[in-house]
Amino acid sequence: MKMTKRNKIVLLASIFLALCVIATVILNLKYTIHNNAININSLILIGIIILLSIISVPIVYFLKVRKSKFERMLNNEYFQKYEIIRDTVMNSQLSSINKKEIKEDVLDILISAQKSGKSAEDTIGNPETFAREILLSYAKPGRLPVLSIIDGIMYFILFILGVSIFIWFEQTDMSFFKTRININMIILVFIISFILIPVTKKLTSTHNYWMFILPVAFGIVFVLFAEIIRRFFYSNEIIRQFLDGTVRMVPNIIILILYIVLIPIALFFKSYIRRRLLRTID
């Protein structure tokens, strides 16, 4: 069975993102060599990033594109509607157990309907409405954004720690706690954590399959925006601070421990709030 439009876009987006990362790393390597700042740690880090970028494409295929045994039983008409329902459920704030149960139940319903000769339209109707009704039967409406905020906090912490380790690894002769991150990078991480990720999850659970490339498109636009304001508005002090200002986000061991401890605390509160917000299913 041929790949659907959604699967083609997902795979192409993953390939394009991997190529962008590899190109950025190679350009950075050329700049580092030009400034005689290359070292063994930098080469190791570059090799790891390129390897992960290459590996990410088959990982995306196996996790997001490849069909399971039962999914392959659906014809193209049924599968196109099913994948919208599946994406909506899998991108929701329900627990992993709930998501798996719903996905299996929906698959069972669709396979049975297909075998009985019913059309996908008569069985499901609008797949987005169908998926929303399923989620409303599990979750109290209007309160789940609380869980998205907790997700944003965890993403932000993990990104900040990841960037700090990345910068420090290139210059390990310097104390990790002296590592500084550009202010524009911190703002980018904040936007990704609290806005871009939840928006992408929301929009990819519809017919807007091109939203899968939203993260890549946003990254390109952000870089172009930074270069434009650098060229035309660099004389402004606020712009200079935005572009070249740096902050120590992990200034000491206490802050590092706080970051690390906040992750399990956030996971605990997310689990607790989820139990309070989700309806009890008989």
For 79-91, how does the pLDDT look when each residue is reduced to its tens digit (9 = 90+)? 888 888 888 888 8
C-alpha 234/C-alpha 262 separation (Å) is: 37
pLDDT at 160: 93
Average confidence (pLDDT) over 41-66: 84
Task: Say which range, 118-122, 165-169, 214-218, has the weakest mean pLDDT.
Answer: 214-218
Amino acid symbol at 262: L
Please say whether the beta carbons of 103 and 84 come within 8 A: no
Average model confidence (pLDDT) across the chain: 83
Tell me, what's the pLDDT at 265?
93
Task: Answer yes or no: pTM beyond 0.85.
Answer: no
For residue 116, which amino acid is it?
S
Token code pair at residue 224:
């172009």
Question: Has residue 250 got a pLDDT over 60?
Answer: yes
**Going by C-beta distance under 8 Å and a sequence separation of 6 or more, which residues neighbour residue 222?**
188
> In this structure, are residues 242 and 184 in contact, taking their beta carbons and an 8 Å threshold?
yes
Q: Indicate if the alpha-carbon torsion angle 177, 179, 180, 181 is positive or negative.
A: negative
The proportion of the chain whose per-residue pLDDT surpasses 70, expressed as a percent, equals 89
- Of 80, 130, 125, nearest to 105 (Cα)? 130
181 phi, psi to nearest 5 deg: -115, 140
| pLDDT band (50, 70, 90) for residue 68 | confident
User: In terms of C-beta density within 10 A (0-12 exposed, 13-18 middle, 19 or more buried), how is residue 178 classed?
Assistant: exposed
Give pLDDT, residue 140: 67
C-alpha triplet 92, 94, 100: angle, nearest 5°: 95
d(CA 282, CA 279): 10
